[in-house]
Amino acid sequence: MRRNLDEALGMARLAYEGLQNFEMLPAHLKFGYRILFQRLERGQQNPTEELNIVTRTMRKIATLTETSRPASAAMIIFCDDSRWEREGNRVNVDVHRTRWKPDRDSDERVWVDSVLGTRWAETPYCRQPFDGELENPYMYYYPSPPNNPDQVVVSFCGNQWPENSWDLIHDGDLSMPIDALTMHNLRGTFLSPELLSMFLNSNLFSDEMRGDSLDWPQVIQVRRQQQIRSRENYIFFAIQFLVDHMGLMLEPVPDGVLNGKVIWKPT
């Protein structure tokens, strides 16, 4: 997962660095930016204000760094839910509950996070059956630990993630022919864009972001005033910088844009 996380942060850094000198960006990246962020209507932010918002958001992701001191981390990411241990006590009013029904955990025993000390009233998320009821079977945000009320705690359910989707986008072998390569496929097939979503969906960005469809045609056609706060627009924007680094680009023709078609850059 570390390599996937490095790729996620790396594409955010590429986007942030490009935005710092926007006028020097190649035409296809400016084109991609305008599709995702600059469909402004009368009365909305002017292009400069909107560019500043996008730049600040990408900077917030790009400057995230790993720390060796978990207690001081703004976010802790666990790769599974193996840290949770059952306690002998029955569920009581001091234990966190979620929207799941109390009888989801048949004997209603308390679970304890052996690392952070959080007590939980239900089966930890990544240990629940992947039965179609889970809103996102790959990630879950737990309450902050007792000794750090501002810390974001998230579990990535690696046991649920498809085995063939741990590849990196920039490894070179995209596991799909260039004729089938689209922004939607890149977003839905690889882990690094999902990790960007993990950051943007956390409390670090909760006041700024909202979720939207993962489907590229829907993302580029959302109501214009929503583009600046759609986390999917930021994810697709970062992907464009990564594929640009690989010699690829969004096809700049109407059908190519609508379908998110990715092609080799002209030489």
The DSSP output letter for 262 is E
What's the residue count for the chain?
A: 267
CA-to-CA distance for 55 and 151, rounded, in angstroms? 24
Whether residues 257 and 168 share a domain: the answer is: yes
Domain extent, residue 7, equals 2-65+162-264
CA-to-CA distance for 254 and 178, rounded, in angstroms? 18
From 97, 123, 156, the end of a domain falls on: 156
Contact call for residues 119 and 95 (beta carbons, < 8 A):
yes
Domain for residue 96, yes or no?
Answer: yes
Domain count along the chain: 2
Whether residues 248 and 166 share a domain: the answer is: yes
Inter-axis angle of helices 2-19 and 231-245, nearest 10: 90
Whether residues 11 and 121 share a domain: the answer is: no
Q: Which of 36, 24, 39, 48 is nearest to 250 (CA)?
A: 36
Q: What are phi and psi of 241, to 5 degrees?
A: -70, -35
Strand pairing category for 84-90 and 109-113: antiparallel
Residue located via tokens 């193996």: 82
Whole-number pLDDT of residue 123: 85
Whole-number pLDDT of residue 41: 47
- Three-state SS at 21: coil
Domain for residue 71, yes or no?
Answer: no
* Token pair for 248: 């690829």
Q: Which of 94, 75, 95, 33 is nearest to 58 (CA)?
A: 33
Residue located via tokens 């950051």: 199
Please state the pTM of the whole predicted model. Answer: 0.84
Whole-number pLDDT of residue 71: 81
The DSSP output letter for 227 is G
Whether residues 254 and 170 share a domain: the answer is: yes
Whole-number pLDDT of residue 131: 66
Residue-wise pLDDT for 173-227, tens only, equals: 655 667 778 999 899 888 899 899 889 888 887 666 666 566 888 888 766 556 7
Whether residues 143 and 177 share a domain: the answer is: no
* Token pair for 7: 């790729």
Residues in the chain with pLDDT values less than 70: 39-47, 88-108, 131-135, 164-165, 172-177, 206-214, 222-226
From 117, 140, 156, the end of a domain falls on: 156
Whether residues 177 and 258 share a domain: the answer is: yes
* Token pair for 259: 């379908």
